[in-house]
Structures are given as C-alpha cells and as structure tokens.
C-alpha cells in the first residue's frame, strides 16, 4: 500500500499518475465498472481508496507501449498542457499500463487517495502556468490625447435653454403685435 496522497484544491488543472501492475488480460476487468443490483463494483476505484469513486470522464487508463512513438511525456505536455519539470525522461521510461486521474474527477470534499495494489503512485503534475512578460506596444497613433466628447447637459442647462427660447419667442411675438397695432 502506498501512503495516503493529499488531494488539494488547486486553482489549475492537476493529474495524479499511477502505475498499474497487472497483465494485459487483467486490465479490462480492473478498469471497467460493473453494476450489480444497485451495487457498483469498480476495482480501479476501490484500489484508489477514494469514496465516492472518481468521475469516469476524467480517468484514463493508457497502454504506454501504444504511446511509445509519440511519447508519454509529449502526451502530458502537448495534449494536456501539464508542466513535468525535470520528469519528462522518467515518465517516458515507464512501460505497461498507467492510470491518469485528473483533478476534475474528484469531488471538492474528498481529501486524499489511499491507493492499494496493483496501483503505485508515480507523481502529481499541474497545468503549466504561462507567465510571459508582455512587451508594451509602441505606436505613433497612441501618442497625445483623444478628443474629449461634449459634457452631458444638466437639467439646469436644459431649463435655461428652454427659458431663453421662450423669451426670444415672446419678444418676437410682442414686436409683431406692436407693429400690427401701430
């Protein structure tokens, strides 16, 4: 039995990798869940020592011999965006079957794996965090200030404009009546 492995809620994607020490003909039975009268039997989930079982959609069992030409490290880096640090060669040297349990497979209340045979823990890897420095863009078009728009008209300004219009209208109206009457 491997020591219990803490499951921490990371702000990014993680994967736990386990070596499966079984023959090729035993892998299918080990990795598939069977439901018998409301009883879920999943040897892989039981061997992980976690309850409830992880979400199947985020658990992968891989035959590393089938990945040999592409490379297991390339699969983790390029296809899954993980940062392997200095472990790329160690992971490429593995053979047989491997189990990947992605962080999305475990529920937030679960605190640890307690793996048992035939699983042995290989490592935990996280999604690569891109921290590139961005160069500022230099452009002549960005120099100076943009023209400022007109300020929003306040209620007092609008009232003053209406009063001015009314006074002008009344002045014209009175002038016309004085001219006609005179």
Integer angstrom CA distances of residue 117 from 19, 20, 156: 10, 8, 82
Q: How confident is the model at residue 11 (pLDDT cuts 50, 70, 90)?
A: low
CA distance 110 to 9: 10
106-147 tens-digit pLDDT: 876 677 888 889 999 999 998 877 666 777 767 776 666 667
| pLDDT score for 6 | 72
Q: To the nearest whole number, what is the mean pLDDT of the chain?
A: 84
Integer angstrom CA distances of residue 174 from 109, 162, 182: 85, 18, 12
| pLDDT score for 140 | 72
| pLDDT score for 86 | 92
pTM over 0.75: no
71-92 tens-digit pLDDT: 999 999 988 888 898 999 999 9
């Amino acid at each position: 039995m491997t020591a219990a492995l803490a499951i921490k809620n990371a702000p990014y994607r993680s994967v736990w990798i386990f070596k499966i020490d079984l023959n090729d003909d035993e892998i299918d039975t080990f990795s598939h869940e069977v439901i018998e009268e409301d009883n879920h039997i999943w040897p892989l989930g039981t061997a992980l020592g976690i309850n409830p079982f992880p979400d199947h959609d985020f658990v992968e069992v891989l035959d590393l011999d089938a990945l040999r030409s592409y490379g297991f490290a390339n699969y983790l880096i390029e296809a899954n965006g993980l940062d392997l640090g200095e472990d790329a060669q160690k992971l490429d040297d593995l053979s047989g079957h491997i189990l990947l349990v992605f962080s999305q497979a475990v529920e937030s209340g679960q605190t640890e794996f307690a793996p048992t045979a035939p699983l042995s823990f290989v490592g935990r890897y996280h999604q690569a965090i891109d921290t590139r420095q961005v160069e500022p863009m230099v452009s002549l078009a960005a120099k100076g200030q943009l023209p400022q728009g007109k300020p929003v008209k306040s209620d007092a300004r609008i009232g003053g404009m209406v009063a001015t219009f009314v006074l002008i209208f009344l002045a014209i109206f009175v002038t016309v009546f004085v001219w006609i009457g005179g």
